[in-house]
Amino acid sequence: MPRYFFNVEGGPYPDPDDGIDLKGPGQARDAAVTLAGEMLKDADGKFWSGPDWRLYVTDEQGGTMCLLSIKSTLA
Amino acid sequence: MGADALIRKLEQFTQLTEDEKRLLGDATRDVRDYDRRQDVIREGDRPDHVHLVIEGWAARYKLLPNGDQPIMAFLIAGDLCDVQVTLLDEMDHSIRAISPCRIAHLPRDLISNILQQGGRLSRALWWATLLDEAILREWLVNQGHRQADQRVAHLFCEMLLRTKAVGLTEDGSFELPVTQEELGDTMGLSTVQINRTLQTLRHGGLVTTTGRWVVVNDLDALMSFAEFDPIYLHQVNKRARLLQVGSS
């Protein structure tokens, strides 16, 4: 199975990802959305006072295959 | 003897007599091998035996219509899987081996008789059931009210202390024969988040992993991080505590 890397900027996992083996790009994209939701749940209200997050998934060749940009705006 | 871990576990609660130990030893002669992922008992079964883990890890789980298989408990050496079948008509969940396991089949009638006699052994088995409930309560709290990295750290604290109580630890480390997917099924977290969380615990120096072994580098630090209070494991020998109280 191919390996994917879930990189998080601004959020709770600043360290480079060791990667995880998944079935393919579809599962990696689904997993990115789930991970974003899980991170937001744990962040609670702290997200408002911190920087915006970028969650992007890269493959073994280093290519970015999807990006989730999580921004906050206080009206 | 097959009942060694069970006796060691029950003696956290009370000292057993040689006759009681012999009775448990005689009850655990029928030991069978299970492969990883093999079911020991399924939801709806009406078994004639109570199962006792002798070696390896098993898990309580439910199979949901959407294919999810949430895990509600890990069962290790000395853990009785299903004492409830002595009173309940059928299993309301399934149990499967999550590593290669050796599991004793104890005659249901024999366990029923022990429970009906109401003596010390009966109270010890009741204590073990109450302990299972206490652990389940803590798992509910853990899943609903702690952050992902704390949840995993909390489980590691618990499994270190539980494996230690039955002599399975080596220098602050324990074998965790569980995949990241199964950890996710246990914690209510995705496999990717489990993976990231394990990296965080490793990078923070709280644990080291070597193959299937988890090394807890500083138990106090890990307990503090996880907000872990071992009181729910009731590992202090009650008899010893009563003697202490009596002599003071």
Amino acid at B54: I
Q: Given A6, A12, A42, which is nearest B192 (Cβ)?
A: A6
Compute chain A's Rg from CA coordinates.
Answer: 13
Confirm if A66 and A7 have CB atoms less than 8 A apart. Answer: no
Q: Given A12, A15, A35, which is nearest B192 (Cβ)?
A: A35
Q: Which residue of A has its CA nearest to B180?
A: A20
Token pair listed for B194: 């489990």
Token pair listed for B146: 């702690």
Give the residue carrying structure tokens 């309560």. Answer: B137
Per-residue model confidence as pLDDT tens for chain B (248 residues): 589 999 999 999 999 999 999 999 999 999 999 999 999 999 999 888 999 999 999 999 999 999 999 999 999 999 999 888 788 888 999 999 999 999 999 999 999 999 898 899 999 999 999 999 999 999 999 999 999 999 999 999 999 999 999 999 988 999 999 999 999 999 999 999 999 999 999 999 999 999 899 999 999 999 999 999 999 998 876 555 555 554 44
Does A56 contact chain B (CB < 8 Å)? no
Q: How far off is chain B from A8, nearest CA to CA, in Å? A: 10
The model carries a pTM of 0.92
Token pair listed for B112: 């029923």
Token pair listed for B208: 């080291």
Q: CB-side exposure of B55: number of CA atoms within 13 Å?
A: 10
Write the DSSP symbol of residue B232: G
Partner-chain contact B180 A20, CB within 8 Å: yes
Question: End-to-end CA distance of chain B, in Å?
Answer: 37
Handedness of CA B7, B12, B13, B17 (dihedral sign): positive
Q: How far off is chain A from B62, nearest CA to CA, in Å? A: 22
Does B179 contact chain A (CB < 8 Å)? no
Sheet holding B31-34, edge to edge: B31-34, B101-107, B49-55
Using a CB-CB distance cutoff of 8 angstroms, which residues of chain B are in contact with residue A27? none
CA angle B201, B202, B208 (to 5 degrees): 120
